[in-house]
Amino acid sequence: MKESFDGLVIRESSYGDSDVLLTVLTSEHGKITLTAKGARSQKSKLSSLRRLFTYANFECYEKYGKRWISGGSVNESFFGLGSDIVGFALASYIIQLASELSGEEVRAESVLRVTLNTLYAIEKKLKPHALIKCAYEIFAAEESGITPDTSACAYCGCTENGKGFWLDVMNGRVVCAECHTKNGAGAAIAPTDSFMTQNILVPIDEGCMAAWQYVSRADPKRIFAFSLTSSESMAMLARATETYIVNHLEKSFEALEFYNGVKE
Ligand SMILES: [Zn+2]
């Protein structure tokens, strides 16, 4: 059976002497594995399709229960990502997250669309790296159904507080500084909860909370259209979204360590 579809290469590995296995994120089939026979050879007509970050139209056929690439054409290579190490590191982390957000033969329309928009924003330097990363992590939380309630303090319902807020990571909520002090010794914000998982609290302010809510509900094209009033707020949001996603997905990302090692 022959088929063709658009997909983004999110993983590439050698297979045998000259073949390449690609993990490709598609709208229709989610995350799928394609074999590119002989693609490691420079002469192969498939060699342009095998590079990481390539968004292409793949023509495939099925044989022995696997999908083999017979041809295709590149829609977008995101070639510019290779010219900046920080952007490259961030893009690598983004596709690792995209892989976590998608499954085999599960439609992945919005994950693919937002991932492509994000790679474009990194390549064209449309926004600072930190902001792009925060937005994608907030999208990842939303896509995984684990968005925290950042609308108000979970205890008193206040939306403003001169002393700031804490993001209660494992409970997916925020607590104002006052309620945190009041309840700090109680069961609610004790070091471990009823499942004996460690509570993780990260400082967060009103601007971060508004940004989080904005991105969660934003049209995929508009997820980067926010700003924070100070670099301190931006740093706070960056720490909050990263801590949140890493702890909820219970995964460490090689590319995230790489990014954190090279970022400005
Ligand atoms: Zn409160």
Last residue of a domain, one of 76, 108, 123: 76
CA of 199 to the centre of ligand 1 (A): 17
3-class secondary structure, 182: helix
Residue 14 and residue 67 share a domain: yes
pTM listed for this prediction: 0.93
Number of structural domains (the chain) is: 2
Give the sign of the dihedral formed by CA 143, CA 149, CA 150, CA 151: positive
CA separation for the pair 253, 146 (Å, rounded): 19
The answer as to whether 172 is a domain residue is no
CATH label of the domain that carries residue 32 = 2.40.50.140
CA of 154 to the centre of ligand 1 (A): 7
Per-residue pLDDT of the chain (264 residues; tens, 9 = 90+): 899 999 999 999 998 889 999 999 999 999 999 999 988 888 888 989 999 999 999 999 999 989 999 999 999 999 999 999 999 999 999 999 999 999 999 999 999 999 999 999 999 999 999 999 999 999 999 999 999 999 999 999 999 988 899 999 999 999 999 998 887 644 445 455 555 556 899 999 999 999 999 999 999 999 999 999 999 999 999 999 999 999 999 888 999 999 999 997
CA-CA distances (angstroms) from residue 113 to 41, 72, 141?
Answer: 31, 20, 16
Judge whether 69 and 49 are in contact, CB under 8 Å. Answer: yes
The answer as to whether 234 is a domain residue is yes
Domain span at residue 33? 2-76
Residue 67 and residue 94 share a domain: no
pLDDT, residue 185, reads: 43
CA of 202 to the centre of ligand 1 (A): 15
Last residue of a domain, one of 35, 58, 76: 76
Residues with CB under 5 A from ligand 1 (ion): 153, 155-156, 176, 179
What lies within 8 Å, CB to CB, of 103 at 6+ separation is 30, 31
